[in-house]
Amino acid sequence: MSNIVAIVGRPNVGKSTFFNRLIQRREAIVDSVSGVTRDRHYGKCDWNGREFSLIDTGGYVIGSDDVFEAEIDKQVELAIDEADAIIFMVDVETGVTGMDEDVAKLLRKVEKPVFLAVNKVDNSKRSEDAVEFYSLGLGEYYTIASINGSGTGELLDALVEALPEKEEVIEENLPRFAVVGRPNAGKSSFINALIGEDRYIVTDIAGTTRDAIDTKYNRFGFEFNLVDTAGIRRKSKVKEDLEFYSVMRSVRAIEHADVCLLVLDANRGFDGQVQNIFWLAERNRKGIVVLVNKWDLVEKDHKSVKEYEKAIRKQIEPFTDVPIVFISALTKQRIYKAIETAVQVYENRSKRIKTSELNEVFLPLIEHYPPPAYKGKFVKIKYIMQLPTPQPQFAFFCNLPQYVKDPYKRFLENKLRENFGFTGVPISVYMRKK
């Protein structure tokens, strides 16, 4: 289980710069995911072998100054509830502000590790100015400069040392299906509809931490764990609709799932919040099934389904090979179809393709449509294999991997989908030196 670290603080203190800096460090090691230039408020970070999820609350606050204060308070409270450690960022240029004091007041009561990071300290004069932040009553502080990274090492050393060790839970190897989505989309109703009068249910296992309730479910001869992110701990209504809340809540569930069932309210559509959760699952390389709930309440004609689907696919480009099922948790319409689809996606995600078969299909194809020449140099792909990872990743060995650009990789991905059926599953295509 990875820990969650939240970065809090008022606007413009440099939270996002700091966040991007840490995420980049991680992405320098791992191949970065192309085609996802969407909001980057969530990422994975690895420091000295300890991996944690990082959430930048900054990107979720939108509004005028007076709205800001209320929103920031909500986010800090949420971060306190959900994160394992908190980085509270302040700005040495402006000194201590009233809003900083408000946030500090909330953080002083916290039992979790809180790290006060004084940003924009890039010379010794500013280092002296930072002393005034002792007045926030949070003890030691760390002086950093997000822009060039100075001081972040000490902060991260202290942070990973303080992160609670997550107990590795030894679980049965059952597939995990997480039901995610924004508040009030009908996640709980969907799960209740499945489990309601269903005598196949085996046990209720309370989540190992307080995050999610797992229900072991057995139907159609297929056994899996259903993870409900909805009914975890009811928060006061105020926070229900906070975008940050949906994402924060979904992070853990998505990270530990095999397939995510993304439930959305047909009347609200595939809005920003739903998209955030979709890309979160995609970035984590999970199987995805989109469930359009409350379909019984929508006025429709024979074209409605096609048009609705088309609109969703337009918004999830370039990853459009995702099953969309129209359901009603209330009338139980197509809820078993939803589960069957999830099972299919799970099987697609665990699919292994023989190297001989891959080469048989792809070598003639590539000969026919080779990668475009770059600066007069021709790329020759010699050999293809699937990597031994939990989700589908393929290595194409060639003479000049650096010259193969994204559009061609996407072409290869589409051909993999066409020939081998990977609906609902993100695929990674890597070019390697032969």
Q: What is the mean pLDDT of residues 299-303?
A: 82
In angstroms, the CA 296 to CA 118 distance is: 53
Two structure tokens written together for 163: 């992160």
30 phi, psi to nearest 5 deg: -95, 150
**Residue 210 in this model has a pLDDT that exceeds 50:** no
- Determine the 3-state secondary structure of 123 from DSSP: coil
Task: Please report the pLDDT score of residue 348 as a whole number.
Answer: 94
Of the ranges 46-50, 171-175, 230-234, which is most confident?
Answer: 46-50
DSSP string, 181-205: -STTSSHHHHHHHHHTT-TT---EE
Round to the nearest angstrom and report the end-to-end CA distance of the chain. Answer: 36
Residues making up the chain, counted from first to last: 434
Q: Which H or E element spans position 430?
A: strand 428-433
Two structure tokens written together for 81: 């509830």
Binding residues for GTP: 9-16, 56-60, 119-122, 181-188, 228-232, 293-296
- Of 354, 270, 352, nearest to 316 (Cα)? 270
Task: Please report the pLDDT score of residue 240 as a whole number.
Answer: 46
Q: Which of 80-89, 140-149, 189-198, 275-284 has the lowest mean pLDDT?
A: 189-198
> Do residues 246 and 277 make contact, with C-beta atoms less than 8 angstroms apart?
yes
The set of residues, in sequence order, having a beta carbon less than 8 Å from that of 384 and lying 6+ positions away, is 355, 358, 359, 362, 363, 394, 395, 396, 397
Q: For 270, which DSSP code?
A: S
pLDDT in tens, 227-270: 877 544 444 444 445 566 667 777 878 888 899 999 999 999 89
Q: Which of 158-162, 211-215, 252-256 has the lowest mean pLDDT?
A: 211-215
> Do residues 433 and 402 make contact, with C-beta atoms less than 8 angstroms apart?
no
Domains and CATH numbers, the chain: 4-162 (3.40.50.300), 176-347 (3.40.50.300), 355-433 (3.30.300.20)
Would the pTM count as exceeding 0.85? no
> Do residues 356 and 328 make contact, with C-beta atoms less than 8 angstroms apart?
no
**Residue 386 in this model has a pLDDT that exceeds 90:** yes
In angstroms, the CA 19 to CA 7 distance is: 8
Binding residues: 9-16, 56-60, 119-122, 181-188, 228-232, 293-296
In angstroms, the CA 80 to CA 72 distance is: 12
Residue type, 202: V
Task: Please report the pLDDT score of residue 145 as a whole number.
Answer: 92
Q: What is the mean pLDDT of residues 409-426?
A: 94
Query: What's the distance, CA 309 to chain centroid?
Result: 23
DSSP string, 361-419: HHHHHHHHSPPPPBTTB---EEEEEE-SSSS-EEEEEES-GGG--HHHHHHHHHHHHHH
Q: For 322, which DSSP code?
A: -
DSSP string, 225-260: EEEESSSSSPPPHHHHT-HHHHHHHHHHHHHT-SEE
Q: What percent of the chain has pLDDT over 90?
A: 42
Q: What is the mean pLDDT of residues 419-432?
A: 93
Question: Which residue, chain included where needed, has tokens 């449509």?
Answer: 369
In angstroms, the CA 358 to CA 366 distance is: 12
